Structure 1
Amino acid sequence: MPKLNFRLDEALHTALMRRARGANLPLSVFIRQVLEQAVDERKRYVFSSQDEILATAIQILSILATSVGQQSPKALEQGMTQARSILLERGLLGEGDHP
């Protein structure tokens, strides 16, 4: 198997590390999958199998958040604060989304 060595600027490396952690993958596996996506003639998204699970989870959590918000706005606010903290920790928030 050929081996590649290349340099990344610090910001790109940090962003890739966050995305790899968010996908629960080692950096090398994540980068290999991103490169596979770049050469895939069908232009499919590498993590598409997780997209359906994510969409379902978002729908369920949206329904739950609506219900909790109606019953206890304070509990919803605390839960959203915790969720933002977890998302930030995993590198899943954009720069403008930081609390």
Structure 2
Amino acid sequence: MPKINFRLDGPLHAALMRRARGANLSLSGLVRQLLEQAVDERRRYVFTSQDEILATSIQILSILATSVGQQSPKGLEQGMAQARTILAERGLLGGEDGQ
């Protein structure tokens, strides 16, 4: 298998690493799939099925959060704080301050 070596600036590398972790891939695996997408004549998006799962999960969690918030606003606040901590640890929040 041919090998390609190239340099990335720090912010691009960090963004690709976050994307790879989010897709449960190595950086090499992510880049291979992105390159495959770039040469795909149909121009389909590589991670479509994962995006559909994510969209469904967000809808379910939104409904659950609404229900919990109506029954226990303090419980919702604690759960959201815990979720922000976990997301920040995994580099899944936008911006340097997590906002």
Name the TM-score, length of structure 2 as normaliser.
0.88
Q: Which has the higher contact order (CA 8 A, sep 6+)?
A: 1
Output one character per residue of 1:19-68: Cα deviation in whole Å (capped at 9) or x when no partner. Answer: 11111111110111111112222221111111221121111111100000
Output the CA distance in 2 between the equivalents of 1:91 and 1:42.
31
Q: In the comparison of the two structures, how many residue pairs are matched?
A: 99
Which residue of the partner structure matches residue 93 of structure 1? 93
Q: Which residue number in structure 1 is paired with residue 45 of structure 2?
A: 45
Gaps of 5+ in 2: none
In 1, distance between residues paired with 2:16 and 2:26?
A: 10
Which TM-score applies when normalising by structure 1?
0.88
Counterpart Cα distance in 1 of 2:61 and 2:97:
19
Q: Percent identity?
A: 80
RMSD: 1.6
Which segments of 5 or more consecutive residues in structure 1 lack a partner in the other structure? none
Letter paired with 1:14: A
For 2:58, give the aligned amino acid: I
Aligned match of 1:36: 36
